[in-house]
Amino acid sequence: MSTDDIDATDTSGTDDLDGTFGRYGGQYVPEVLMPAIDELEDAYRRYVLHNEDSFMDEFRRRLADFGGRPIPLQRADRLSDRYDTEVYLKREDLLHGGAHKLNNALGQVLLAKYMGKDRIIAETGAGQHGTATAMAAAHLDMPCEIYMGETDIARQRPNVFRMRINGAEVTPVTVGRGTLKEAISETMRDWATNVSDTHYVIGSVVGPHPFPRMVRDFQSVISEEAREQIKEKAGRLPDSVVACAGGGSNTMGTFHHFVDDEAVDLVAVEAGGSSLSVDEDRGVAPNSASLSTGNEGVLHGARTKLLQDGDGQIMESHSVSAGLDYSGVGPELAHLVDTGRVTPVNVDDDAALEAFHRLSQDEGIIPALETAHAFGYLEENPDAVGDLTVVNVSGRGDKDLETVIEETAKRDLDIAPDMSVFEQVGAGGMMDMGGDHAGGDGSGGDHAGGHE
């Protein structure tokens, strides 16, 4: 696709960026950051929307050569039989780094270079965005610092190693409960301090304008390819497109070029966690279903749907999948849900775990736990997706193996292979790692535990 096509699909007009999606979006940030996001909006307009200095050409070239695009759309033979419907998989797990995250990270790091910035910072939850940013920064020779909650550091260790190996500094965030929400806040603080030379590569379609639009545009290559591929392979547009939703970057990327195809149902699968009900006393929502259960508020620079208490204090979210574990969601997705264009559904921890095993066994694809939520929906609602569906495989699950072994051992899942042999190995491994971790920085494990 040429950049002209981006302009053509930009329904609000390229030179009239008001930064809102219906009632959502906006720029709710401290004054010190306003000039930086104004500068970013200008760069987004020039380089991304108008391809100044052939930015988009270089981006596309690097996505192909470094990232491995285009990414295949594959028919899932056994799932198609199982559900008696044509199931196609958009294999973003095959993108370099093992998740869709590189589309955005590469775009933003390259943009930072065009803007003359000389330092990259980013937050990460599951570590996939941090990993992708560290890779992109190494690839483009930029120093890079990643903020990660210490709870997430403990549960996503393989990705911490990958970031470090790529040369990034990984800084633990110890305030609060040490997950994605705190990591975003801390990265914003760094940006406020080093705003003149630093670009903040935000990891999802969240934050102040222009981040939600810009990240969506970088991720929209997913639906741009998928839309052509499904027409070629199945001879028509799908009846539905299904993607998991945390902050919503793979969701918006997978939906974007289908939004105007009104006959195509768009299904956003949120993490139902352990329960959809809320524990107000503890300020905890044991899920990450802000589209299904949240209400309007302002967090991290944008007006959107949030998990919050009656006073407006942000609640801790929960999901077995660290990448979906966030109290907010992108403002455009909130808007598309309000208008009825996107249907929000949710899948709980148990069903996601089951789906993880099913996809691994039936299709030989080990999905990320985030991705597994989308397949959990398919299992629970095979009749709701029509005769032809596209499911985005947003990432691969290698990073989740420790969690999966641990969580499977806690449950009685018929589909799971006999994990007893791993339980030994896994339990020992976890304990060793916990010990290393607590000993390594003196506080990590203890602190996270103290907030339980």
Stretch that binds other proteins, among 53-61, 194-202, 267-275, 418-426 (CB under 8 A): 194-202
Q: Is 42 in the site for other proteins (CB under 8 A)?
A: no
Stretch that binds other proteins, among 175-183, 228-236, 259-267, 357-365 (CB under 8 A): 175-183
Report how far apart, in Å, the C-alpha atoms of 306 and of each of 294, 327, 377, 450 are: 5, 6, 22, 25
Please give the Cα distance from 379 to 356 (Å, whole number).
11
Q: Looking at 32, 64, 263, 425, which residue binds other proteins (CB under 8 A)?
A: 32
Tell me the closest approach of the beta carbon of residue 312 to other proteins, in angstroms. 3
Q: Which residues of 371-385 are buried (b: 16+ CB within 10 A; e: fewer)?
A: bbbbbbbbbeeeebb
Tell me the closest approach of the beta carbon of residue 285 to other proteins, in angstroms. 13
Tell me the closest approach of the beta carbon of residue 201 to other proteins, in angstroms. 17
Please give the Cα distance from 161 to 66 (Å, whole number).
21
Q: Which is nearer to other proteins, 300 or 399 (CB)?
A: 300
Q: Is 192 in the site for other proteins (CB under 8 A)?
A: yes
- Position 184, amino acid: I
Rounded to 10 degrees, the C-alpha dihedral 98/104/107/111 comes to -140
Whether residue 204 lies in the annotated active site? no
Q: Is 43 in the site for other proteins (CB under 8 A)?
A: no
Contact 158, 98 (CB under 8 A): no
Q: Looking at 21, 24, 26, 88, which residue binds other proteins (CB under 8 A)?
A: 26
Of 249, 290, 321, 394, the active-site residue reads: 394
Q: Looking at 49, 188, 291, 352, which residue binds other proteins (CB under 8 A)?
A: 188
Q: Which is nearer to other proteins, 159 or 304 (CB)?
A: 304
* Interface of this chain with other proteins, residues 404 to 433, rule: CB under 8 A: none
Tell me the closest approach of the beta carbon of residue 126 to other proteins, in angstroms. 20
Interface mask toward other proteins for 295-334; x: CB under 8 A: --xxxxx----x-x-xxxxx--------------------
Please give the Cα distance from 90 to 242 (Å, whole number).
10
Contact 321, 10 (CB under 8 A): no
Exposed/middle/buried for residue 32 (C-beta within 10 Å: 0-12, 13-18, 19+) = exposed
Which of 102, 100, 101, 7 minimizes the C-alpha distance to 52?
7
Binding residues for other proteins, total number by CB under 8 A: 35
Q: Are strands 20-21 and 24-28 parallel, antiparallel or unpaired?
A: antiparallel
Of 123, 225, 354, 407, the active-site residue reads: 123
Whether residue 231 lies in the annotated active site? no
Exposed/middle/buried for residue 159 (C-beta within 10 Å: 0-12, 13-18, 19+) = buried
Whether residue 399 lies in the annotated active site? no
Q: Looking at 3, 6, 36, 319, which residue binds other proteins (CB under 8 A)?
A: 36
Please give the Cα distance from 177 to 194 (Å, whole number).
25
Q: Is 181 in the site for other proteins (CB under 8 A)?
A: yes
Q: Which is nearer to other proteins, 163 or 195 (CB)?
A: 195
Backbone angles phi, psi at 389, to 5 degrees: -130, 150
Q: Is 34 in the site for other proteins (CB under 8 A)?
A: yes
Q: Is 280 in the site for other proteins (CB under 8 A)?
A: no
Alpha helix (H) residue ranges in 50-205: 55-65, 77-83, 101-114, 128-139, 150-155, 157-165, 180-193
Q: Residue numbers of the site for other proteins (CB under 8 A)?
A: 26-32, 34-36, 38, 175-176, 181, 185, 188-189, 192-196, 283, 297-301, 306, 308, 310-314
Residues involved in catalysis: 101, 123, 394
